[in-house]
Amino acid sequence: MRSKYVAGNWKMNMDKTGAVALAKGLVEEVKNLNAKYMIAPPFVYLDAVYQEIKGSNIILGAQDMAATENGAHTGAVSGAMLKDIGVETVILGHSERRYEFYENDALINKKIHEALKCGLDVVLCIGELSSHRIVGVTERICEIQIREGLKNISEEQLARISIAYEPVWAIGTGKTATPAEAEEVHASVRAVIARLYSPKAAEEIKILYGGSMNDTNAQELLAQPNIDGGLIGGASLKVDKFSAICKFASK
């Protein structure tokens, strides 16, 4: 049976004092829980947060990374740099990177290969716009993003990748897919992995829900058979809200 995975994406929020306090509070709240927990602060607070969570059952994540090795790439942050300061996993393909920063599947695939080469695990984000859902192509859009994002990724490498389904229309809007709607897409994602790799790979991969999961809807969403956790945005910025989701995941 797959264990649950709850990841907090802090996005471009917090100051250093707040980030440290949040990390310290979360360490205390989840120390006796038994799921997998990750938090991804802004780049500038990664090291400070790491000092608070090292040795705990929370792992450090990054919100993005460069597709290249160290070198003359002004403003970029490499996977090797992230690994060097304690980062264990990186979120790639988030809808805000796709639609605000115009990242395409080819670039996301390149980043995934680079992350794995640097020894980082990956959370690959996929999901549809509201216009896609209206015309009934949600599963097709997700399949394309999976196929292109995982191009030339082996089944052995896949073991270090989780997938986060995030309907773009539900991110930061307060809207969320119903548990049944989310489960339907998660099941289809698992079927795609089975076709691309194997039934074993499909059974083992963790698929998270990333569309405005919070402390009030998490329990019902996490009860669905193909929802293995959550990629949490706004609710990850409060100790009580995020730890409540973590507790649901540990049951």
Question: Any idea which residues carry the catalytic annotation?
Answer: 94, 166
Tokens 């090291």, residue located? 47
Alpha helices in the chain (DSSP H): 16-30, 46-53, 79-84, 95-100, 105-117, 130-134, 138-149, 155-158, 179-196, 199-204, 218-222, 239-249
DSSP state of 236: G
Q: Which helix (H) or strand (E) holds 230?
A: strand 229-232
Cα separation, 4 vs 224, in Å, equals: 12
- Burial (CB count <10 Å: 0-12, 13-18, 19+), residue 46: buried
Tally of CB atoms within 10 A around 76 = 14
Residue-by-residue DSSP string for 118-145: TT-EEEEEE---HHHHHTT-HHHHHHHH
For residues 67 and 90, is the Cβ–Cβ distance under 8 A? no
Residue pair 108/124 in contact by the 8 Å Cβ criterion:
yes
